[in-house]
A and B are shown apart, each in its own frame.
Chain A
Amino acid sequence: MTIRTYWQLDPAAEHSRSEPADRPRWQPVIRDVRNASINRYDHYAQIARGAAITGFDGLFIPHRDAHDDSQIIAAVVARSTPRLALIPEFPASVGSAVYAAKQAVSFQRLAHVRLGWAIAPDVDAKARARGGDHVPDEELVARTEEFLTVARGVHGRHPFTFKGRFFEVERGGFEEPLNRVAFPKVFLRGNSEEAVALSARQADVHLFDAAPIDALRHAIEALDRQALSAGRSVEFGLLLSIAARESEAEAREVGGPNLTGSYDSVAGRLAELAAIGIRHFVLSASPSFEEVYRIGQFVLPRFRAATAPARAA
């Protein structure tokens, strides 16, 4: 089974970088030729190309309410990264499930079938109200489920008719040539029982948050069981922040990340996670641009070597 590695392109990370309004002003005697057309998106595109060049399989773009929209970023960088899988995260409150599916299909058609859909975890009621979303707490899971059911329905069937609590379609569904491309893989996340149960019914890939390896093993077994009884299979992934350095001592100087260590030890820990069934690794480190090169160049080759038998299997 193939192992996939994704780099996290976080729109909120190092948010002043390449932001025209935040540039320190140079002394007038020094000529600065940058205009406003050189901006944050050039930086996103460089991180994306960095991920592609250093051998990552894809880009995971988290939803950050105060920052650039993940789906816009995914499309803007798509044409300069021909093979990279692009997985923008967005909330199920974006609007019509039919329209979301239609956009996904266009992306698949126009950008070589490499879109993933990550549904953002629901925020609290107050934050939802700020975003014009008034679905009550107890109906959020049902809304996400309907959203995915309708989106997959109009993609996979014609005519498709559905009447639910949140969405209604009559004789819908895409026709030729829109229906020729695959629906994006759906990534759901969270370590709660509720999140795991939803993934068993709806996710293609479930992304766990970092946790001790035994806890992850149990969570994987639980999800696997539930998915099996729903007649489905779900792949497992993990969101991990990393500090990898030439030596353990240097890595320890970086506080905070889930996984710190030398290149060898980080690769070894990733391989242990692969051994318990994790197949999708969403890695992040700061600063994103420099670290995608470091981790791509020094950690990924070691990780690949350590998991070579698993990859062949």
Chain B
Amino acid sequence: MSIDFYWRLPTHGCHSTIRRGSYDRGDWSPIGPYNQSPGLGREGRDDGFRYIDHLAEIAKAAEISGFVGGLIPSFPNTDDPWVISPLLARETKTFRFMIAFQPGFLNPVQAARLSASLQRATGGRTVYNIITGGGGPAQLWWGDSFEHDDRYGRTTEFLDVLKGVWKGGDFSYKGRFYQVEDGGLSPLLAKEKIPEIWFSGSSDAALKSAAKHADYYLSWLEPFDALTDKFARVKERTAALGRQQKCAVRLDLVARATEEEAWRDVRIGFENVTDETRARWRGQATDSVGAARQAALRPTEAKRYDELIVGPNLWGGFNLLRGGPALGIVGNYEQCAAKLDELIGRGADAFILAGTPHLEEAYRIGEEVLPLLGRSASALQQAAE
């Protein structure tokens, strides 16, 4: 089998460098003289561009550099992946749109129509990143009052219904959350492929739901032994149901020509973290299990960047530099490739990579790191299985 590498589209603005925390690309920060803010720049005159033009550049950079597609995250203050993907459909060729969404927010029958239409528009380039966790006040912000485990039950039912109506015949379903009577996509829509389903969530309820429906189980990068165990558990659980589960890792990289350069950028980035940023991460309220595992690294308490080095080429302070997972890879191109190979050897079947700035780093990782991959014995063996 082959390993798929995805990139990520930043849907909340982007930093021009890992060294500074300001979102100086996009319109999420106050406009300064050096901000790249499509539509708002150039002495206050509208330049005709919008943030989608920046996202289009990143999607094309990822496409050119060999990524199969990109994750498009969704949070309260981001632009929305269901809008971004069709907007970019006609100006990309192979780029797969991995749409992050919470199933509870869509009627599953309408979601099936929406997805089949997007499949038709893109030649089958839609991928689902199903998110269910989050929780806390953010969930009520979205207008969702269901409890954590109920939300996973609802996700399972959502996918039951979506897959059921996609068969095209008369489909009926009586669940706790959804009921359908004699529904089904029209033959025109039903002949499209159901998007690949990527699933995240570390709790027991999540693993149960994933085992039934997911094609890929997606985890943030965790310490390698913990991740290996998790992947083994997920694969075992799914195998018990007679299905095969692939596993994927989402991680950030700082890859430079030399290891010294890579750590220098991390150090400068760490030293530029403001108290405000630390306080924000410390105070984050959530009932997500994955987020709690990451927080156990306690990067907000560190005084020096090297206190957060948790292993060779592994750094646990990325969430201080930008939103997302704490743990990531830092090193020269060969070291980064070796780490990724090690993860392949430990059961990773696919990756979502990211680097800051997303545009230039798509080229760098694609040109410098991806060509070095798959040469180690363990990676070759894993890929052959």
User: Contacts A76-B89, A110-B87, A171-B137 known; A66 to B110 CB distance under 8 Å?
Assistant: no
A245 to chain B, nearest CB (A): 32
Interface size on B, residues (CB 8 A): 53
Mask for A85-98, Cβ within 8 A of B = 1, else 0?
A: 00000110111111
Separation of A109 and B53 alpha carbons in the complex (Å): 11
Residues on A close to B: CB < 8 A? 15, 21, 36-37, 39-41, 45, 65-69, 71-76, 78-80, 90-91, 93-99, 102-103, 105-107, 109-112, 126, 129-134, 150, 154, 167-172, 174-178, 180
* C-alpha gap A65/B137 in the complex (Å): 35
Stretch at the interface among B142-150, B247-255, B337-345, B358-366: B142-150
**Bound CA–CA A154/B180 (angstroms):** 29
A4 to chain B, nearest CB (A): 23
User: Nearest residue in B to A79 (C-beta to C-beta)?
Assistant: B87
Closest to A112 in B: B50
Shortest CB distance B32–A (Å):
15
A110–B26 Cα gap in the complex (Å)?
Answer: 11
| Cβ-defined contact, A111 with B87, below 8 A | yes
Nearest-Cβ distance from residue A272 to partner chain B, whole angstroms: 38
In the complex, are the beta carbons of B143 and A169 less than 8 A apart?
A: yes
Chain A residue, CB-CB nearest to B108: A132
- Measured in the bound complex, the distance between the Cα atoms of B80 and A96 in whole Å is 14
Q: From residue B45, how far is it (CB to closest CB) to chain A in Å?
A: 15
In chain A, what residue has the closest Cβ to B141?
A: A172
Task: Evaluate contact between A103 and B107: CB separation under 8 angstroms.
Answer: no
Cα-based distance from A44 to B74 in the complex (angstroms): 28
Contact of B141 with A96 in the complex, beta carbons under 8 Å: no
Distance between Cα atoms of A102 and B371 in the complex (Å): 39
**Of A21, A106, A109, A174, which is in contact with the most chain B CB atoms at under 10 Å from its CB?**
A106
| CA gap between A96 and B105 in the complex, in Å | 5
* A177 & B27 in contact (Cβ 8 Å cutoff): yes
- Bound Cα distance from A67 to B80, whole angstroms: 23
Q: Mark B59-86, 1 if CB is under 8 A from A, else 0.
A: 0000000000000000011011011111
Interface centre among A74, A99, A132 (most CB of B within 10 A): A132
CB of B47, distance to nearest CB on chain A (Å):
12
A-B contact count (CB 8 A): 167
Task: List B residues at the A interface (Cβ < 8 Å).
Answer: 27-28, 50-52, 76-77, 79-80, 82-91, 104-111, 113-114, 117-118, 120-121, 123, 137, 140-145, 161, 178-184, 186, 188-189, 191
What residues of chain B lie closer than 8 Å to A93, measured between beta carbons? 107, 110
Residues of A within 8 A of B182 (CB): 129-130
Q: From residue B73, how far is it (CB to closest CB) to chain A in Å?
A: 13
The secondary-structure label for the interface of chain A is mixed
Tell whether, in the assembled complex, residue B161 and residue A98 are in contact, meaning their CB atoms are under 8 Å apart. no
Residues in B with CB closer than 8 Å to A132 are 107-110, 161, 178-180, 183
The contact of A76 among B104, B121, B161, B191, by CB within 8 Å, is B121
Q: Say yes or no: B142 contacts A67, CB within 8 Å.
A: no
Question: A176 contacts which chain B residues (CB < 8 A)?
Answer: 28
Q: Assess whether B86 is in contact with A76, with CB atoms less than 8 Å apart.
A: yes
Query: Nearest chain B CB to A155's CB is how many angstroms away?
Result: 13
Pick the residue among A65, A94, A175 that contacts B186 (CB under 8 A).
Answer: A65
A131–B173 Cα distance when bound, in Å, is: 11
CB of B16, distance to nearest CB on chain A (Å) = 18
The 5 closest A-B pairs by CB, nearest first: A66-B186, A75-B86, A170-B140, A99-B105, A69-B117
Q: Hey, which chain A residues are within 8 Å of B145, CB to CB?
A: 168, 170
Query: A76 — which chain B residues lie within 8 A by C-beta?
Result: 86-87, 89-90, 121
**With the chains together, A172 CA to B144 CA distance in Å?**
11
Query: A72 near B121 (CB under 8 angstroms)?
Result: yes
In addition to A72-B118, A96-B106, A170-B140, 9 A-B residue pairs with Cβ atoms within 8 Å of each other are: A21-B191, A66-B186, A68-B117, A72-B121, A98-B141, A99-B106, A110-B83, A130-B184, A174-B76
Q: Given A65-B186, A106-B80, are A72 and B51 neighbors across the interface (CB < 8 Å)? A: no
Report the minimum CB–CB distance from A135 to chain B (whole Å).
11
Q: Once the chains bind, are B89 and A41 in contact (CB under 8 Å)?
A: yes
